[in-house]
Chain A
Amino acid sequence: DSGVTQTPKHLITATGQRVTLRCSPRSGDLSVYWYQQSLDQGLQFLIQYYNGEERAKGNILERFSAQQFPDLHSELNLSSLELGDSALYFCASSVSFDGNQPQHFGDGTRLSIL
């Protein structure tokens, strides 16, 4: 158990819709990262928050947004969903924003767009 909780585990929705994925980081971790894993591909970094502030941005579409709340949980909002957005979305947390700190991953949210 990594201590990182992601909800929901599965999400099925239709094109054009909007969804919110939630992540509770491991106790004591200030940094939250979001990743997308499409079929047979590696994890694509989307965005990082550290103590409520956006820290780094990766390949995140404009239709996607995220935030980290004062209690350090984070939400990833995906809007105007397309078939290609179907993927596993992982959240990870770490103590600091440095890459030398291991990231602890949740078990992911599987998003299926019909």
Chain B
Amino acid sequence: SQELEQSPQSLIVQEGKNLTINCTSSKTLYGLYWYKQKYGEGLIFLMMLQKGGEEKSHEKITAKLDEKKQQSSLHITASQPSHAGIYLCGADSRGSQGNLIFGKGTKLSVKP
């Protein structure tokens, strides 16, 4: 079955620094979603990537899907305390019981 592995599991950065979170799939990705979750709240959709080499940006967050469609990276430029939370990647899974699978998340803390 398909699995998503996120790295790092947790990250502490100084405000203003850039950071990257990776999401690697064991199989080809047909749709890759990035979500952000603030502690105690539900997931907020950030971006969806489908095509190999695709790149999207939302404010200071950029996500890319590699050409082979097995890895995606989420890059935050000039991090701010408001970026803190859990970042989850999710993917359309074909052939499994469910329709969506998720990585285990990356916990981001931004020190002011």
A and B form one complex: no
